[in-house]
């Protein structure tokens, strides 16, 4: 620590000596992060995650998938039916930023669709998906 202070004061001394205008140069003030986290009353881990709590993520629900040739897609119109690979009774996939995080069932809430989460994907499985 004392070595850092010595280097810092030497740098400031050099700046003062090389300052052609003759203005005073104020020493920089750095906040001690360890003391700051201790003053907040936490061990730092809770406070670090707080930085991410207000980030927006895309959440989507996947009813099913299918593959179609371009000719069939161009023929789609009002009233067309697209058949998916899932049965009505199967759970839907809940994706967060394109990664499956949970499964659920479709419900209706005040004339709006909603999803009731029935199971969460194991965190270790989610981490495996990140390595790909």
pLDDT tens-digit series, residues 33-51:
555 545 555 555 557 778 8
pLDDT 10s digits, 91-100: 999 999 888 9
Residues 101-115: b if buried by 16+ CB within 10 A, e if exposed: bbbbeeeeeeeeeeb
User: Which domains, from first to last, does the chain contain?
Assistant: 2-50 (no CATH), 59-130 (2.30.330.10)
Between CA 82 and CA 130 the distance in angstroms is 31
| 97 close to 57: Cβ distance less than 8 angstroms | yes
Between these two residues, 84 and 23, which has the higher pLDDT value?
84
């Amino acid at each position: 620590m004392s070595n850092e202070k010595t280097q810092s004061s030497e740098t400031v001394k050099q700046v003062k000596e090389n300052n052609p205008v003759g203005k005073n140069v104020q020493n920089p003030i750095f906040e001690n992060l360890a003391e700051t986290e201790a003053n907040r009353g936490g061990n730092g881990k809770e406070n670090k995650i707080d930085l991410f709590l207000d980030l927006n993520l895309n959440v989507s629900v996947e009813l099913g998938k299918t593959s179609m040739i371009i000719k069939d897609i161009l023929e789609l119109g009002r009233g067309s039916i697209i058949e998916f690979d899932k049965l009505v009774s199967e759970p839907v996939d809940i994706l967060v930023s394109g990664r499956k995080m949970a499964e659920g069932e479709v419900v209706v809430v005040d004339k709006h669709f909603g999803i009731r989460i029935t199971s969460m994907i194991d965190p270790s499985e989610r981490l495996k998906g990140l390595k790909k």
